[in-house]
Amino acid sequence: MITVLVAEDNAVNRELIRELLELRGYTVLEACDGQEALGIIERAQPDLLLLDIGMPVLDGFAVVRRIRESPRIARLPIVAVTAYAMQGDRERILDSGFDGYLSKPINPSSLTEELNRLLTKQAIQPAHSDRPDEKQGEGKASNAVGSGT
């Protein structure tokens, strides 16, 4: 079973994303801020991280920097899930170390495509150096949900 960590400070958005993922067969872990997300990553070693940019304690950019600096988890696929959708935001986010980008409100088809793309890439190169390669993502599409930062 593939495990996805959802790091999002907005409880409604977190619940919507969790439901979309669970409907597609993923195991979902949740964090409400960046510091909590880092702790969960160290303990649970999820296969992929869906990370809000604008969170308390540590924002998404700080979380990505810390993950990329840690050799054991540096290859963890990370998708920005954000309301930042102005021209140039996507490029700036991807240039900062994120592997993917989803704007809010979440389009379930786009979510499925990003998960499949990154988990297929991960099957070629495992995200965690101490865990064997064993997983690929699957899913189906629906309508857009969730909003906010």
Mean pLDDT of 2-22: 97
Q: Confirm if 36 and 60 have CB atoms less than 8 A apart.
A: no
Asked whether the predicted pLDDT for residue 65 surpasses 90, the reply is yes
Please tell me whether residue 18 adopts helix, strand or coil conformation.
helix
pLDDT digits (tens, 9 = 90+) for 19-35: 999 999 999 999 999 99
Beta bridge partners of 145: 106
Q: What value does the mean pLDDT of the chain take?
A: 85
Every domain of the chain and the residues it spans: 3-124
- Under the banding of pLDDT at 50, 70 and 90, the label for residue 86 is confident
DSSP helix, strand, coil percent of the chain (3-state; round to 5):
40, 15, 45
Asked whether the predicted pLDDT for residue 125 surpasses 80, the reply is no
In the chain, the amino acid numbered 24 is: R
Identify which of 105, 89, 112, 116 has the alpha carbon closest to the alpha carbon of residue 146.
Answer: 105
Order across the sheet with 100-103: list the strands: 27-31, 3-7, 48-52, 78-82, 100-103
Asked whether the predicted pLDDT for residue 68 surpasses 80, the reply is yes
- CATH class of the domain whose range is 3-124: alpha beta
Q: Which of 21-25, 67-71, 81-85, 141-145 has the lowest mean pLDDT?
A: 141-145
Q: Confirm if 115 and 123 have CB atoms less than 8 A apart.
A: no
